[in-house]
Amino acid sequence: MSERPWLVVGLGNPGPQYAGNRHNVGQMVLDELARRTGSTFGARAGGLLSRRPQAVVAEARLGTLPGGAPGPRVVLAKPTTYMNVSGGPVVALARYFDVPPEQVVMVHDELDIPFADVRLKIGGGEGGHNGLRDTTKALGTKDYVRVRVGVGRPPGRMEAADFVLHDFAKAELKDLPWLVDRAADAVEAVVGEGLEKAQLRFHTKA
């Protein structure tokens, strides 16, 4: 029997007008993981997915095991639906690739974490994040892994919904590549070392 892959999903909204938004940082991280693995996203239809592809997918090995062997199998996925209906593509891919919820990793923006911090957890609440809320509903469980990429709180009286649908500020852009790289490292750590060891690495201040 072949090993079950991990399903790593980067949340965001489709289309170039959203590509630089804070809400799309999860998809930026998936692009970095695809770059690291030398893989290319392609449309996948069929199986349990609808006739029109609901995600672009790349299959790869992520990281390197002790001794130099290729790391675990992963399915990298970016839904092509809007954020608030992310659950359909996620559950369809999980079923298609036979991935249990505890091996589903959602990479997403997080308002309750300062910009440039990365935090990891499994289960718990969605914190008002519509993409996570729809994923929980579709999977029927909260017990999936979240890689939470901090974007900070909106300034002044700015609404959270407006804040996440804006691009990163100029002052943030210089640190954005570092943040994306760190979040990609966190995904690799979860998949290769397990959540608890990854938390020790990424929740400990240097």
| Rg for the chain, CA atoms, rounded | 16
Phi, psi of 178, rounded to the nearest 5 degrees: -65, -45
Helix (H) or strand (E) segment spanning residue 159 = none
Which of 23, 108, 166, 203 is flagged as catalytic? 23
The verdict on whether 203 is a catalytic residue reads no
Phi, psi of 137, rounded to the nearest 5 degrees: -60, -45
Helix (H) or strand (E) segment spanning residue 14 = none
- Let me know how many helices (H) and strands (E) the chain has, helices first: 7, 7
Residues with a known catalytic role? 23
